[in-house]
Structure 1
Amino acid sequence: MKKLVVVGLGLIGGSLARDLKLRMDYKVYGVDNNINHINKAIELGIIDEEGSLNDVADASVVIVAVPVNVMPEVIKKVLDKVGLETLVFDVGSVKNEICKAVEYHPNRKNFVAAHPLAGTEFSGPEAAILDLFDDKVNIICEADKTDWRILDNAISLFKKLNMHIKMMNPVEHDRHIAYVSHLSHVSSFMLGKTVLEIEKNEQAIFDMASTGFASTVRLAKSSSSTWTPIFLGNKENVLQSLKEYIKNLSEFKEMLENEDAEGLNKTMNNTNYIKKVLNGIEQNN
């Protein structure tokens, strides 16, 4: 039976372990600094055994799914120990620093810099679910630096998960992801914070919360220990996206203060174009 080592047993690492164990018949070893995560992952059948970084030496596949601030060092430690044909890939949502960190590693050819665009607002091994990656996009950066046979194995694995593969430069990835993912999380966190600060009567919030509010603020339930390193790791791009977002909020506020119905209507009508963009993305996928 092929051996899979998953380093980091949160939502993404745990969900990958679940799916690959079922779809590709791996024996799964889990590595995590939190012993409670190990015990829960074994209890839930996500992993077969607790492992260590020494297990990567004879593994077919190693997945690194730790917070992005420690990911470069963990990847390098894994690459120090891997076998000649071992596939190593990460799932980090910030790619440029990771790619730079492993650029000159002797086993760089074993590594695939990946970012599966999937997830929920929940965390920990309890959050791991089957089929999380079906019909989702998986971005691969610097594919040309991976041995073609290992890259082929990675693409075959991602196809088993029913993912759509996109190739992208890591710098472009980090800039784009700041707008389509990181800014969304900032907005959700700050919307939740604003409402909690203004509306002290929590029951009133729950009584009046519509599905629109619930869906908009859903991401505010995400783990701060996951997202603080992401925001800091992609700091410059997040700051730029926030600068433009705050400018638009200020303009909206000014139109409202001036009772500029024409401006408000035009702004919202123009923004309705997002429906066409998103529909096109869904059709292409």
Structure 2
Amino acid sequence: MEKLVVIGLGLIGGSLALDLKKRNGYKVYGIDADATHVKKALSLGVIDAETNFSEISDASVVIVAVPVDVIPKVIKKVLDNVSKNTLVFDVGSVKNEICKEVSKHPNRKNYVAAHPLAGTEFSGPEAAILNLFDEKVNILCETEKSDWKILDKALSLFKQLNMRIKMMNPEEHDRHIAYVSHLSHVSSFMLGKTVLGIEKNEQHIFDMASTGFASTVRLAKSSATTWAPIFLQNKENIIRSLDEYIKNLKEFKLHIENNNDEALKEIMNNTNYIKTILNGIE
């Protein structure tokens, strides 16, 4: 039975553990800085046993699923301890800084830079679920720097998860993910903050959530421990997207102030085109 080590037993790491145990029969070992996460993951059957960095040399696969600001340090520590046949990949949603940090490591060829575009607003080992990655996109960066046998192992593993593979360079990845994913989270957090600030009656918020507020603010339930490092690691791209977002908000506000019905309709009608792009996505 092949050995899979998951470092970081939250939603993504835990869900990968569950799916790969079921689909490929791995024996799954876990590492987490939070001892309560390890205990919870064991009790839920997310992992089979706890391990540590000194015991990963015989692992077939090591997954690094920790916050993005500590991923480079953890990857380098993992690469220090693995065998020449071990696949190491991370799941971080910011790639450029990670790729730069690990580029000079002697065992860089064992590493595959990955970003599975999957998740929920929940966190911790109890958030881990089966089938989270089916039909989701997985972006791989700098695959030319990975040993071809290691990359082939990674692609086989992602195929078992029914993921669709896209290749991007790290800079391109970080730019696009800021616009499509990271900005959505900022927007959701700030919408939640705004409503909490101006609507003091919590019952009113609950009663009226069905108007669209609940779905729009869903991402504001996401873990701050996960997302604060992401925003800071990808700050230039996020600031650029926020500048454009703020400009559009100011323009929309001005049209409302001026009772400009035609301008409001034009903006909304033009933006309706997004439904064509997102056709088939719930």
Q: Does residue 132 in structure 1 map to residue 149 in structure 2?
A: no
- The 5 A counterparts of 1:77-96 are 77-96=77-96
Partner SS for 1:58: coil
Kindly state the Cα deviation for residue 54 of structure 1 after the two structures are TM-superposed. 1.6
User: Which residue is equivalent to 1:237?
Assistant: 237
Question: Which whole-Å deviations, capped at 9, do the CAs of 1:125-167 have from their partners, x for residues lacking one?
Answer: 0000000000000000000000011101100000100000000
User: Which residue is equivalent to 2:146?
Assistant: 146
Question: Which whole-Å deviations, capped at 9, do the CAs of 1:159-183 have from their partners, x for residues lacking one?
Answer: 1000000000000000000011100
- The 5 A counterparts of 1:149-168 are 149-168=149-168
Task: Structure 2: state its 5+ residue gaps.
Answer: none
In 2, Cα distance between the equivalents of 1:212 and 1:128? 26
Partner SS for 1:229: helix
- The 5 A counterparts of 1:63-212 are 63-210=63-210, 212=212
Partner SS for 1:62: strand
Question: Which whole-Å deviations, capped at 9, do the CAs of 1:192-232 have from their partners, x for residues lacking one?
Answer: 00000000011111111115111100000000010000000
In 1, Cα distance between the equivalents of 2:91 and 2:208? 37
User: Which residue is equivalent to 1:261?
Assistant: 261
In 2, Cα distance between the equivalents of 1:263 and 1:54? 63
Stretch moving more, 49-58 or 246-255: 49-58
Kindly state the Cα deviation for residue 55 of structure 1 after the two structures are TM-superposed. 2.3
In 2, Cα distance between the equivalents of 1:73 and 1:265? 50
In 2, Cα distance between the equivalents of 1:69 and 1:209? 34
Question: Which whole-Å deviations, capped at 9, do the CAs of 1:44-89 have from their partners, x for residues lacking one?
Answer: 0010000101222110000000000111000000001110110000
The one-letter amino acid of 2:79's match is L
The one-letter amino acid of 2:46's match is I
In 1, Cα distance between the equivalents of 2:85 and 2:58? 9
Normalising to structure 1: TM-score of the pair? 0.98
The one-letter amino acid of 1:36's match is T
The one-letter amino acid of 1:53's match is F
User: Which residue is equivalent to 1:279?
Assistant: 279
In 2, Cα distance between the equivalents of 1:137 and 1:55? 32
Contact (CA 8 Å) 1:5, 1:55: kept in 2 or not? no
In 1, Cα distance between the equivalents of 2:194 and 2:238? 20
Kindly state the Cα deviation for residue 281 of structure 1 after the two structures are TM-superposed. 7.8
- The 5 A counterparts of 1:38-53 are 38-53=38-53
Question: Which whole-Å deviations, capped at 9, do the CAs of 1:236-262 have from their partners, x for residues lacking one?
Answer: 000000000000000000011011111
Kindly state the Cα deviation for residue 280 of structure 1 after the two structures are TM-superposed. 7.4
Aligned residues: 282
In 1, Cα distance between the equivalents of 2:227 and 2:58? 32
Normalising to structure 2: TM-score of the pair? 0.99
The one-letter amino acid of 1:169's match is N
Residue 241 and residue 39 in structure 1: after superposition, are their counterparts in 2 closer, same or farther (change >3 A)? same
Partner SS for 2:67: coil
Partner SS for 1:209: helix
User: Which residue is equivalent to 1:5?
Assistant: 5
The percentage of aligned residue pairs carrying the same residue is 75
Stretch moving more, 46-55 or 15-24: 46-55
Question: Which whole-Å deviations, capped at 9, do the CAs of 1:261-283 have from their partners, x for residues lacking one?
Answer: 1100000000011011112789x
The one-letter amino acid of 1:103's match is S
Partner SS for 2:105: coil
Partner SS for 2:46: coil
- Structure 1: 4+ residue segments shifted above 2 A: none
Stretch moving more, 171-180 or 210-219: 210-219
The one-letter amino acid of 2:263's match is G
